[in-house]
Amino acid sequence: MKKENRTTGVFTRRALLLGAGQIGVLGVLAAKLYQVQVEEGARYATLAESNRISARLIAPPRGRILDRFGTVVGGNKLNWRALLMVEETADVGGTLDAFSQVVALQDHERARIDRELHRRRRFIPLVVREFLTWDDMARIEVNAPDLPGILVDVGTSRLYPEGPNLAHVVGYVAPPSEGDMGDDPMLALPGIRIGRAGVEKFHDLKLRGRAGAVQMEVNAVGRVIRELDRQEGTSGQDLGLTIDVELQKQVLSRLGDLSASAVVMDCRNGEVLAMTTTPSFDPSLFNSGVSQAQWVEWTNNRRAPLINKATSGVYPPGSTFKMAVAMAGLDNKVIGPGDRIVCPGYLDIGDTRFHCWSKYGHGALDVRGGLKNSCDVFFFELARRVGIDRLAAMANRFGIGVNLDIELPGARKGLMPTRAWRQSHGHAWGIGDTVNCGIGQGYVEATPLALCTYVSRVATGRAVQPHVTRTLSGVMQPGVQAADWPSMNLSERHLQLCREGMFAVVNDAGGTAPQARLGMPGMQLAGKTGSSQVRRVSRELREHGNFKSENLPWEYRPHALFVCFAPYDSPRYAVSLVVEHGNAGATTAGPLARDIMVDALTRDPVNRSEPQGQKLADRS
Amino acid sequence: MINERRLIRAEPSFGLTTKLFQISWIYVLLICALAGVGYAALYSAAGGSPDPYASKQAIRFAFGLVMMLCVALVDIRIIERLAWPLYGVSLALLVLVLRVGHVGKGAQRWIEFGGTQLQPSELMKIALVVALAAWFHRATWERMGNPLFLIPPALMVAAPVLLILKEPNLGTAVITALIGGTIFLAAGVRWWKMALVVIPIPFAARVAYGYLHDYQKARIETFLNPESDPLGAGYNIQQSKIALGSGGMWGKGYLQGTQGKLNFLPEKQTDFIFTMLAEEFGFVGCLAVLGLLLLIVLGAMAIALRCRHQFGRLVALGIGVNFFLYVAVNIAMVTGAIPVGGVPLPLVSYGGSASLTVMFGFGLLMSVHVHRDVEFKDRRED
């Protein structure tokens, strides 16, 4: 029995030991649980939330672009497209091959898809084909079992009802490139477009709006269980332009197939009513992808349809520049309002002879007469007296050679040379350069928009800035009232002299542009011609006598320019017109600009047809 | 009074009614409570529905409960005589599973048995306990001192452990070895002899590591640094810890857990069922469940201590340790304290095999309790 007891005793001791050990182990586990659940609980709770919640972006509709009367010039239309959900197919290549059997994919489309497959994160659907027709969709739906991962859905795409008429102002949208990615997660959404030119680009962020997000509870394989939270995005803002589409179209029909650019501006406040460039292009082509052939045609076209000539075409302003020279002379008191300069038909500076356009000379002219006759010698002499830097300062005040802050990306500021500019290019400024600038030749370059701004400022004496944005989300932007714009602080008497000169150009007997007379009762037009050489006319040609620029090849002919404002006694509209290689400002550009001015003056918005925008139910 | 009762108990056989009365109903209640916790957890795991887990589990438990009570009424001496056949059958099944077993999760562990899957290694653990208890039952203190006497039981442990390792099922093999070792210890094998066997094990393990399957190595590697590969092998541990941790002190509330319901928890209804509870009831709920489990473990110890014969004591202790190891390994596993190893939480995890064998073990435990005072005829000393 003692032996038995000994075994029992050992058992009892060891069993108790074991029991204690078991309590100890469970105690340690409890401590571990405390550590994970209570001490680190917050961290794991966050992880659990991020586990189950998946956010998806919803793209808001892009804001519309309207003209000043509400006509839609940039809207949205439904776009049926085939998307590939990469995660839902085991064999991406096989699915795409099968898709090709149904809706033929071009090689470049396959290449793009392959590129995006490598670039994008797998859970973001990839656009296989956009702008599906009903036939395409029917074929895809019928063959759906053979097309795992292919999904047809509807997005929006950009619609430009006015097409080429307003292409350079509105611009266009295109898929974002790799460089555009990153800042806005919305850009990763399939089929998204961003503004690439014109106001589409300038106001891209406002038009784009902010993406909304849906927070969804997902399970471990990403299937959506339920929607937890929905934050509606901010839809893109509607953008109202200052452009009057009907006027724009009238101006375009005036320009016909010339390579030209005309700008119509409300000279009281700088609103651009029409900004035309011919030839133009169809902006919706960029939306669906530009073909190689189309691209080659555009880039090889000497008339550069893709360039907005109104803001990016720079031309020597020629004689249209002479008001700025006159103002520089008057303001710097190198000539008095009644002082005269004698024109013998030429001006000798050193051993160089500068010719007036009239080889017989104009005799003694005051400022008004100088402008009326567009006497070159008068302005050679004036420029010589003022000097280039004071001339440049005045030209800049009128908007020539400075950045005009127009809302159109790619706008150029032209060039108003100075001594410093010339020296920075490693050359000394010569007096001959100054003299050439006096008639808007030489280095001076300006865009049609700058010329229009310049004329507006001459007409009103206010430093109006050209702009095309009128409303955002229906809210009027500042700058509508004339009083919104500061005075130029130039002598009204001096400005009036220039205006009188411009009036005389058109309306006085012996003016250079009688063809541009308005012919409307009670209203007169004041304007200035310009013909700017693109090639130096050699002495030999000049003395040959029967030199005619019409006989030159097209690209060597001078540009024809005309700037004007009307009505003369209460300036309302300013027009600038540049006809590339149009020979003479007076004969080619003058009557055209006059016609454009008549269109602007006789526009009657009340009687216009219903805005097309109301028929486009493109935003529900 | 005491003598009188002893006399009654000493009878070779006593009435069924008396036996039923002798069953520790409090202990049965604890087991039922644990099954209730399991039912609640499985109900939640199915997203608040008795199907597909909870209802089936309840039926299985009812079946197990009846089986347990039946086993409880079997005379412990008969069980002692059946120890060797039971061990033999279990060993044969282990060999069989290696030949015809179903491959599940990269190992041959299951055999189809009457429409249900049977995991022979689970049965083996009970059989080993009973067989070792039968072996040590008659050992005198002197014989325990004889090393040669210890060689057969050592082989009895080694044979199933090696077979289970070959499946391969590292976790169960280690648990089986631990159970065997515990019985040795409780039977009175000297500490130094135990040490002689145990100390070389780490070195042997170092060598054995080279022979492990890649997935087993991966588990151990992941254990050492679970967050290094959160979407690979570490996913289970990481998600499990997220579920535990997000439960916090008080839990998200019953049926409010997200990790399990959204299938982030792998095997949420089986091995990781504890995390469901932890997420929904928090640390406090976990402590309550741990308390219940501890009561069941210590209850088995109490029954062992209360028993008057060595066979019963060893069986009760072995059953208790078996249950304890399930619990400890499972919870250590889900908290990331040890590598993941396919060990369920008995009666709570969904699954038949483990629950039934555990209930069978509880049946034996009850039988020990009912027959705690019976006397064995000492055949050897006859």
- Please give, one letter per residue, the 3-state secondary structure of A27-68: HHHHHHHHHHHHHCHHHHHHHHHHHHEEEEEECCCCCCEECC
Chain A residue nearest residue B266, CA to CA: A220
Range of the domain at B55: 16-370
The better pLDDT of the pair B302, A189 is held by B302
CATH topology of A55-241 equal to that of A245-280+308-606? no
Per-residue pLDDT, A398: 92
Query: Domain A245-280+308-606's class?
Result: alpha beta
| Top-confidence residue, A535 or B80 | B80
A209 torsion bin: left (phi>0), alpha (psi -120 to 50), beta (else) = left
pLDDT at A617: 40
Distances (CA, A) of A152 to A113, A141, A191, B102: 16, 8, 13, 44
Among the listed residues A319, A374, A456, A549, the single catalytic one is A319
Instruction: Tell me which chain B residues have a C-beta less than 8 angstroms from the C-beta of A38.
Output: 248-249, 283
- The predicted-structure confidence for B321-353, as pLDDT tens digits, reads as follows 999 999 998 898 888 787 666 788 889 988 767
Interface list for chain A against chain B, based on CB atoms closer than 8 Å: 3, 6-8, 10-12, 14-16, 18-19, 22-23, 25-26, 29-30, 32-34, 36-38, 40-45, 47-49, 51-52, 217-221, 225
Is A215 within 8 Å of A54 (Cβ atoms)?
yes
**Is residue A259 annotated as part of the catalytic site, yes or no?**
no
Give me the pLDDT at residue B230, please: 46
- Ordered mean pLDDT values, 10 residues apiece, chain A (620 residues): 69 91 93 87 72 67 89 87 77 85 84 78 74 86 82 82 90 79 68 86 87 67 63 82 92 90 92 92 80 83 86 90 92 89 88 85 89 91 91 92 90 90 87 88 91 94 92 85 86 92 90 85 89 65 57 78 91 92 78 91 65 41
Q: What's the rounded Cα separation, in Å, for the pair A32 and B336?
A: 9
Q: Please list every residue in chain A whose beta carbon sits closer than 8 Å to the beta carbon of residue B313.
A: 8, 11, 15
Domain count, chain B: 1
Q: What is the pLDDT of residue B327?
A: 92
Supply the pLDDT for residue A261: 93
Separation between Cα atoms, residue A369 and residue A498, nearest integer Å: 10
Q: Which of A123-137, B224-238, B244-258, B301-315 has the lowest mean pLDDT?
A: B224-238
The set of residues, in sequence order, having a beta carbon less than 8 Å from that of A427 and lying 6+ positions away, is none
Which of B244, B314, B327 is nearest residue A36 as measured by Cβ atoms?
Answer: B244
Each domain of chain A, given as residue ranges in start order, spans: 55-241, 245-280+308-606
Q: How far is B249 from chain A (nearest CA, A)?
A: 6
CA angle B240, B243, B249 (to 5 degrees): 130
Residue B2 has pLDDT above 50, yes or no: no
Q: Determine the CATH number of domain A55-241.
A: 3.90.1310.10
Q: Is residue B284 part of a domain?
A: yes
**Chain A residues inside the 8 Å CB shell of B376:** none
Taking the Cβ of residue B27 and every Cβ of chain A, the question of whether any pair is shorter than 8 Å is answered with: no
Nearest to A234 by CA among A173, A177, A186: A186
Looking at residue A393, what is its pLDDT? 92
Contact yes or no for B264 and A51 at CB 8 A: yes
Angle at A528 between CA A499 and CA A279, to 5 degrees: 135
Residues of B numbered 336-365 whose beta carbons fall under 8 angstroms of chain A's beta carbons: which are they? 336-337
Q: Which residue intervals of A353-430 are DSSP H helices?
A: 367-373, 376-386, 388-397, 419-424
3-state secondary structure of A280: coil
Chain A contact present for B141, CB below 8 A: yes
- Reference A468, options A169, A71, A164, A75; nearest CA is A169
Residue of A384, A386, A376, A369 lying closest to A334 (CA atoms): A386
pLDDT at B226 over 70: no
CB contact under 8 A, B263 and A220: yes
Measured CA to CA, the distance from residue A450 to residue B195 in angstroms comes to 100
Which residues 176-205 of B have a C-beta within 8 angstroms of A? 182, 185-188
The predicted pLDDT at position A226 comes to 65
Cβ-defined contact of B282 to A8 (cutoff 8 Å): no
Q: How far is CA A14 from CA A17, B139, B151, B180, B186, in A?
A: 5, 17, 21, 15, 6
What average pLDDT does range B19-31 have in this prediction?
Answer: 90
Whole-number pLDDT of residue B126 = 93
B116 or A378: which leads in pLDDT = A378
Whether chain A has a CB inside 8 Å of the CB on B287: the answer is: yes
Residue B3 near chain A (CB below 8 Å): no
Which token pair is A355? 């010719």
Q: Which residue of B has its CA nearest to A224?
A: B262
Helix (H) or strand (E) holding B103: strand B102-104
Which residue on chain A is closest to B314 by alpha carbon?
A11
Contact A22 B324 (CB under 8 A): yes
Q: How far is CA B31 from the centre of its chain?
A: 14
Instruction: Say how far apart CA A77 and CA B320 lie, in whole Å.
Output: 74
Q: Which of helix, strand or coil describes residue A376?
A: helix
- The predicted pLDDT at position A616 comes to 41
- Each residue's pLDDT tens digit, B121-143: 888 999 999 999 999 987 877 88
Task: Quickly list DSSP for A551-615.
Answer: GS-GGGSPEEEEEEEESTTS--EEEEEEETT-S-IIIIIHHHHHHHHHHHHH--GGGSPPPGGGG
